[in-house]
Amino acid sequence: MSSKNSVSHHSKSTNLLLPNRPRRLRRTPAMRRMVRETQLSVNDLIYPLFVMEGESHQQEIISMPGCYRYSGDLLLKEVENVFELGINAIALFPVIPEDKKDATATESYNPDGLVQRTVKAIRQAVPEIVVITDVALDPFSSHGHDGIVSEDGIILNDPTVDVLVKMALSQANAGADLVAPSDMMDGRVGAIRQALDAEGYVDVGILAYSAKYASAYYGPFRDALDSAPKFGDKKTYQMDSANAKEALKEIALDIAEGADVLMIKPALAYLDIIQQVRNATQLPVAAYNVSGEYAMIKAASQRGWIDEKSVILETLTSIKRAGADLILTYFAKDVALMLPGT
């Protein structure tokens, strides 16, 4: 029997001057879920994967614990697993042997190249998954830059675009659903769109790395592909991290040239850019939760400094809250297992 002296959460407050109490809607887990503004879903996730030559072999990437380079046969098993978890899309990145690299990245548009063979195999094994292919020269170039380099070390824009077009066409022919130019050369989205349409690939979309910053967060990714530039840096074509208005200019250009999805990369240090882009367009907005962001969480978790699951979910929710419709993340499999209904 309850006592008349017992106190419940419905008891009268001694402070009658607070009619608005936001804490009322935080009182229970069910209440918090009911009024939650941002809902992270497995449908928001794109899983980046690294493929290499060989068979029955995988290599863990030291600076990205839990991420691997896969030979083609093991990659197919990983793609099947990913799709079973409810992840709708993968983004494919190749590890190219040094003996197949040259100054003009000719291997990038080889119809029998690693990317092209892998896309065809995925199309056969898991036909319903969305396959996104990277369009950039750096994995294929002997110098590690995203463009053709002149004799005096200048990255040449228009000759690079010519190669990017060839690469995109070869990937579309192999069965890519979306080609993703990540190079930041001027005019490449329009040139690729025009070439795809002319060759009959009108249904192949372009996920444009529209605002890709020259960032220190890319280090582990370059370890994964062994694609760090052999000289200089990428600051003449990737964006200055201090610039926001320039991002909106790049976005407007890519929209005019025919992009279907707009990407901001990296994500966490550029949440303000994601929000500005979201407010400036009706197109889907993607953000890349890049390798450095992944590695920092993994490193802190391994040392017991943070709760990994909680930080992963908070991080990805922040990216979605800023305005991203899609998130490329190496945590995609982990998150798919964490979310309700998976």
d(CA 83, CA 154): 42
Burial of residue 282 (number of CB atoms within 10 Å: 0-12, 13-18, 19+): exposed
Task: Quote the pLDDT of residue 300.
Answer: 96
Which residues are marked as active site?
Answer: 212, 265
d(CA 232, CA 248): 27
Task: Quote the pLDDT of residue 6.
Answer: 47
pTM as predicted = 0.91
> Which residues, including other chains, have CB under 8 Å from residue 326's CB and lie 6 or more apart?
44, 45, 46, 89, 261, 284, 285, 286, 287
Q: How far is CA 21 from CA 11, 16, 17, 26, 30, in A?
A: 15, 11, 10, 10, 18
- Does position 33 have pLDDT exceeding 80, yes or no? yes
The band of 185, judged by pLDDT with boundaries at 50, 70 and 90, is very high
Give the β-pairing of 58-60 and 285-289: unpaired
Averaged pLDDT, 228-239? 78
- Does position 220 have pLDDT exceeding 50, yes or no? yes
What pLDDT digit, counting tens, does each position of 133-155 carry? 999 999 999 887 888 988 888 89
Identify whether 220 is preceded by a cis peptide bond (ω within 30 of 0). Answer: no
Averaged pLDDT, 86-93? 97
Q: Which of 95-109, 219-233, 295-309 has the lowest mean pLDDT?
A: 219-233
What pLDDT digit, counting tens, does each position of 93-140 carry? 999 999 999 989 999 999 999 999 999 999 999 999 999 999 999 999
- CA 269 to chain CA mean position, Å: 14
Question: Contact, 254 vs 181, CB < 8 A?
Answer: no
Query: Which tokens belong to 317?
Result: 């929710």
Residue 217 CB coordination number (10 Å): 23
Task: Quote the pLDDT of residue 323.
Answer: 97
What pLDDT digit, counting tens, does each position of 39-82 carry? 999 999 999 999 999 999 999 998 899 999 999 999 999 999 99
Helix (H, G, I), strand (E, B) or coil at 297: helix
Task: Quote the pLDDT of residue 289.
Answer: 97
293-297: long-range contacts, CB 8 A cutoff, minimum separation 24: 293/217, 293/266, 293/267, 293/268, 294/64, 294/67, 294/220, 294/329, 294/330, 294/331, 295/63, 295/64, 295/65, 295/219, 295/220, 297/331
Averaged pLDDT, 291-304? 95
